Chains A and B, each alone.
Chain A
C-alpha cells in the first residue's frame, strides 16, 4: 500500500467515526467538536486527491468560519436547557429503515457500476491537476475564466445571505 492509500483509509475511518459521534453525542458542544474532526478529516482526504486549494478552503471556511459560527450560537443560547431536554425523537425506526434503504441503494449502484468507473482513470491526462502548474492557479483560472458567471451569482447569493441574516437578527426599534 502506498502512502496515499494508507492516509486515505485513516482519514476515511476518522471521518466516519466522528460523523457518527456528531449525531449520537448528547451534548451539543461535543457534537460541534466532533464535526470539527470530521471536517478536518475531509480536508485530509482532499489532500490525498491533490486538491490542495480546496483543503485550505475547507479548513479556513468550514472549520474557521461556519463551525465557529455554530459554536457562537450554541454559547449564545443556553446550553444547560438543551442538555436536560430529550435529544432524540421517536422516529429512530423510520430513520433506520430510511438509512438502510439509502445506503443499500447507493452501495448497490456502486457495486454494479464499478466496471464503468474504470474508464475514469486517464493517468496521462491527470498531471495538469496533480500540482505541476499549481492547484490554486488551475482553480483560480477556471473560477475567473470559464466559471465567471456562476462565481458572480455565488457572490450575489452571499450578499443576499448577509442581508437576510442581519434582517433576521435585527432588534426592533421603537418606531416599528
Chain B
C-alpha cells in the first residue's frame, strides 16, 4: 500500500507547478490550464484521504471541485473570446485597462 504522504506530496508538487505556471506565463490560455492543474492537485488529496479513511465524502467533494472547474472553464473561456474580439491578443501584459 502506498503511504498516504506520497499522494499528498504528489498533490503539493502539482499545485506548485500550477502556481509557477500562473506566475510566469503570459498566455492567458496557459494560465487557465495551470489553474486546472491546481484543481487536480486538490482532487488527488481529497481522493487519497477518501480511500485511506474508507469514507466516500472526499469523492463527493472531488465531484464538486470538478463542477467548479467546468464552470470556471466555461466562463473563463467566454471572457477570453470576448477579450480577443476587443483587443486581438492573448498576452495578459497588454490587457491593462484596469491597471493603475
Contact partner of B5 (CB less than 8 A), chosen from A2, A117, A142, is A117
Q: How many residues of A contact B (CB 8 A)?
A: 88
Q: Mark B7-28, 1 if CB is under 8 A from A, else 0.
A: 1111011111111110111110
* Residues of B close to A23: CB separation below 8 A: 17-18, 20-21, 24-25, 30, 34
CA distance A50 to B64 in the complex (A): 19
* Residues of B close to A15: CB separation below 8 A: 10, 14
Q: How many residues of B contact A (CB 8 A)?
A: 73
Q: Is the CB of A70 within 8 A of B32?
A: yes
State whether the Cβ of B95 lies closer than 8 Å to any Cβ in chain A: no
Residues of A near any B CB (own CB < 8 A) = 2, 4-5, 8, 12, 15-16, 19-20, 22-23, 28, 31-32, 35, 38-39, 42, 45-46, 48-51, 53-54, 57-58, 61-62, 65-66, 69-70, 73-74, 76-77, 81-82, 85-89, 91-92, 94-96, 98-99, 102-103, 106-107, 110, 113-114, 117, 120-122, 125-130, 135, 138-139, 142-143, 146-147, 150, 154, 157-158, 160-162, 164-166, 168-169
Residues of B near any A CB (own CB < 8 A) = 1-10, 12-21, 23-27, 29-30, 32-34, 36-37, 40, 43-44, 47-57, 59-60, 62-64, 66-75, 77-82, 84, 88-91, 93
